[in-house]
Amino acid sequence: MTTIENGSGSGTGDSSGASAASGSVTAAAGSSSGATSGTGASGTFSSTGASSGGSSESGASAGEASGADGGSSTSGDVGEGGTSLSDATPGTEVGIQADPGSMGDGVTMLPGPYTVPPESMGLLDGAPAGTLTPPAIYASKMVYPGIKFQYTIFVPAQYQKGKPAALMIFLDGREWVTTPGSATTIAWSNSGGWHADNVLANLIHSGDLPVTIAVFIDPGTPSGMFTGSGADNATRSTQYDHPDDKYSEFTLTEFLPDVVLPNYDIVQDPNGWSGVGHSSGGVAVFNMAMLNPDNFHKALTFSASFPNTGGVYPAKILTTPLEPIRYYLQTSPNDLCCGWYAQNMTAAADLMTKGYHYQLYIGTSPHFPSPADVQNFPEALRWMWRGYSLPWYN
């Protein structure tokens, strides 16, 4: 776990044997020893390769349920009572996380064909656009010496200085939003992909998301401009795929205190912080949440690169204490070779066994671009943030 001080300065795996049918999912062998089975929200889930002692998920997980009743299993978590802005000490404001229940938990099949969701195509029902800051560069001071990171920040129209907002951190920021003036914006994103700034603006306007500051940060490179070259991808893998706490340390002790927290009022409770990532970015935010439960209680992953962690994930799920974290996963039998589909399946089985709130969506798209991921992105956000509110914005 990393504590924030405000103002401080390609792996392989085995995907053989993975199969899925509507309402029932079986994970491939090869992630951890033993076997587990149980009944989730969308049918029977069994996994050869998960640990023994599967458990059925009904209602909230133990950790999250206790938080909803006013207690907490981690420092900084809050119950249904929350903390009002008028009563809080500056820098300690927390939102309200009501018990989200288990609706939507479990495994869901998502067959094609896929469509771009209306939430990403434009602003709906009078939703205000919000703003994207111009691309900027941040140089790591100690964690990644000599490495610079390009980023942009989405600020919703509803945000008011002095009223803390929730926080979302998107890795591989260029994938998620069209960044004006950026040479690294991916073409398919511009022509009908994530458009996360539209999605966030629409869901904040509809009340499905709290008022949220969203940071879109690219992998770091010596120049600060991620080009997708072999050298840049190797540097990205070093930052995202290593299952240690180094990228979390960069985020929590350098980037956020230097760039985000001095300029925006952000809630200081983990229920209000989320990481989002695709591929290696997905396994990075999964790891950030699991290693830093006092900072993050929400992690959205798409085609997470568990095989790149050298066997640490998904096995670590079963050896780490249960925390009130919600995990979203999405994968496909047409994902990358060498274990991506199988290990995402096993990760979901292990999350169920441990008692987490989780969702696993199984589509048919390739690894990237993935129209299934784009289509389900708004629904994933709705499930992830259900029950969380900021009373000073109501």
Phi-psi category of residue 256: left, alpha or beta, with phi > 0 → left and psi -120 to 50 → alpha = alpha
Digit-coded pLDDT (tens) for 294-327: 999 999 999 999 999 999 999 999 999 999 999 9
- pLDDT at 184 (0 to 100): 41
* 139, two tokens: 């140089």
154 assigned to some structural domain: yes
Neighbours of 190 (CB within 10 A): 12
- pLDDT at 1 (0 to 100): 54
Neighbours of 294 (CB within 10 A): 18
Digit-coded pLDDT (tens) for 81-92: 343 444 444 445
> Among residues 341, 271, 266, 318, which one has the least CA distance to residue 299?
271
* 355, two tokens: 């008692």
172 assigned to some structural domain: yes
- Check whether 46 has a pLDDT greater than 60: no
37 assigned to some structural domain: yes
- pLDDT at 39 (0 to 100): 35
3-class secondary structure, 65: helix
Among the ranges given (15-19, 127-131, 251-255), the one the predictor scored with the smallest mean pLDDT: 15-19
108 assigned to some structural domain: yes
Structure-token match 């405000």, residue found: 6
Mean pLDDT (the chain) is 80
The domain that holds 199 is classified in CATH as 3.40.50.1820
Q: What is the mean pLDDT of residues 344-359?
A: 98
Residue 154: phi and psi, rounded to 5, are -90, 125
124 assigned to some structural domain: yes
Whether residue 195 contacts residue 177, with contact meaning beta carbons closer than 8 Å, is answered with yes
Identify the band that residue 240 occupies on the pLDDT scale cut at 50, 70 and 90. Answer: very high
59 assigned to some structural domain: yes
Sign, CA dihedral 181-186-192-193, equals: negative
- pLDDT at 4 (0 to 100): 56
Whether residue 181 contacts residue 236, with contact meaning beta carbons closer than 8 Å, is answered with no
Identify the band that residue 228 occupies on the pLDDT scale cut at 50, 70 and 90. Answer: confident
187 Cβ contact list (under 8 Å, min separation 6): none
- pLDDT at 2 (0 to 100): 54
14 assigned to some structural domain: no
264: containing domain: 28-393
Total domains in the chain come to: 1
360 assigned to some structural domain: yes
